[in-house]
Structure 1
């Protein structure tokens, strides 16, 4: 296993800097540059993903209205983003809740499946047990190629669920998969920037779904 070179992220860490004022100046400049980069990527991602977001929101709203449920899942930091998205739908600010769950929320189920049947099946097996053809499956990833997510999306497709994949880089396997109905790609090489933009795309998806469900006041809350 090789260590990742972080010099491009924090060039001042390895520098032999003894001037505290200069170090603080470097830190401030780095923070400003990252904020500018993040804001630009979020705007670009919203523009590029706009048509896919609109189509996905319409179908998700239709399924919610018909009694469908949403299941979200991801690995590592993306698992927390998936949980945040599920929580936004299930416990929205000043709006009626919608049925949404994160498949990483139950440690007992997650670890039992990982130990007993293999980690690649931790989400697919939950969808087998809990899912239905009218539901929605949302996979959140930076690579778009994690095996446990692609297997789960395949199971969701088999059941007839509507599938959404959040991905970074070039979209990975999500981008060309017949198991992904709506692929939202943040085109960046930085995991940090990808996850920041994915959070905004998730919030925009939520606001558009509420708009389709006759709750237009949620749209203003989803503006960048």
Structure 2
């Protein structure tokens, strides 16, 4: 038996309640950790299947629209906050530096720290993506915003700017789509039916990688199997 110090972060208690016992058998803790991992893995697999079944046709159509814009010289701009920021960077990298197929022009609006901090400090964080699209975006480009809640003000304002500029607008959110769904701004909205930020972001990763691969197929860069 060993005594475990109680973690301070309250959020961890809900995820791993077995770590909060004052005295715990190491083997028992490990067994519960394994079960927790298996349950979370099974949950994300279920979510991915749910998204695939609900959005298969929309994903195909969206990728074809993206391919048309890339073929006409369009560029992809991705954006989001926190974990969604890193996903935006990964998505842009997947399109710009793919493991195979065509390299497609893509930029994450969260990558330039100087621009992000200047806009946040001098104007306001709510316009940090919209101002960049106002400067860089043009008709025929693609705007992809990621928000687990669908309510991030700077993501909403970015889509408003993208719509004004005639860009293809694609949102990745959780649950029912939040404010983005209510505003009816987007050409495509892919909502992951979960309240867990972790599971939503994991499923969103699959969504944008599927969009990348389908776009490559639509451009004829990858032979159909």
1:119 correspondence with 2:125 = yes
Unaligned runs of 5+ in 2: 1-8
Q: Show structure 1 runs of 4+ deviating over 2 A.
A: 3-8, 15-18
- Contact 1:17–1:23 (8 Å) recurs in 2: no
Deviation at 1:145, TM superposition (A): 0.9
Aligned length: 217
Deviation at 1:187, TM superposition (A): 0.5
Unaligned runs of 5+ in 1: none
Query: In structure 1, how many angstroms separate the alpha carbons of the residues matched to 2:181 and 2:53?
Result: 17
Query: In structure 2, how many angstroms separate the alpha carbons of the residues matched to 1:118 and 1:186?
Result: 29
Hey, what does 2:42 align to over in structure 1? 36
Query: In structure 2, how many angstroms separate the alpha carbons of the residues matched to 1:5 and 1:98?
Result: 39
Query: In structure 2, how many angstroms separate the alpha carbons of the residues matched to 1:17 and 1:188?
Result: 33
Query: In structure 1, how many angstroms separate the alpha carbons of the residues matched to 2:198 and 2:184?
Result: 28
Q: Find 2:206's aligned residue among 194, 200, 206.
A: 200
1:174 correspondence with 2:164 = no
Once the two structures are superposed, what CA deviation does each residue of 1:39-77 show, in whole Å capped at 9, x if it has no partner? 111111122121221121111110000010000000000
Note closer, same or farther for the CA distance 1:182–1:133 as it changes in structure 2 (3 Å cut): same
- Contact 2:79–2:129 (8 Å) recurs in 1: yes
Q: Find 2:70's aligned residue among 64, 76, 82.
A: 64
Q: Find 1:47's aligned residue among 53, 60, 69.
A: 53
- Contact 1:83–1:105 (8 Å) recurs in 2: yes
RMSD: 1.4
Once the two structures are superposed, what CA deviation does each residue of 1:171-223 show, in whole Å capped at 9, x if it has no partner? 10122323211000001010000000000011101111111101234x77xxx
Query: In structure 2, how many angstroms separate the alpha carbons of the residues matched to 1:190 and 1:19?
Result: 29
- Contact 2:102–2:216 (8 Å) recurs in 1: no
Deviation at 1:18, TM superposition (A): 2.2
Hey, what does 1:155 align to over in structure 2? 161
Hey, what does 1:83 align to over in structure 2? 89
Query: In structure 2, how many angstroms separate the alpha carbons of the residues matched to 1:160 and 1:42?
Result: 31
Q: Find 1:143's aligned residue among 146, 149, 154.
A: 149
Structure showing greater radius of gyration is: 2
Deviation at 1:94, TM superposition (A): 2.2
Deviation at 1:128, TM superposition (A): 0.6
1:21 correspondence with 2:34 = no
Hey, what does 1:213 align to over in structure 2? 219
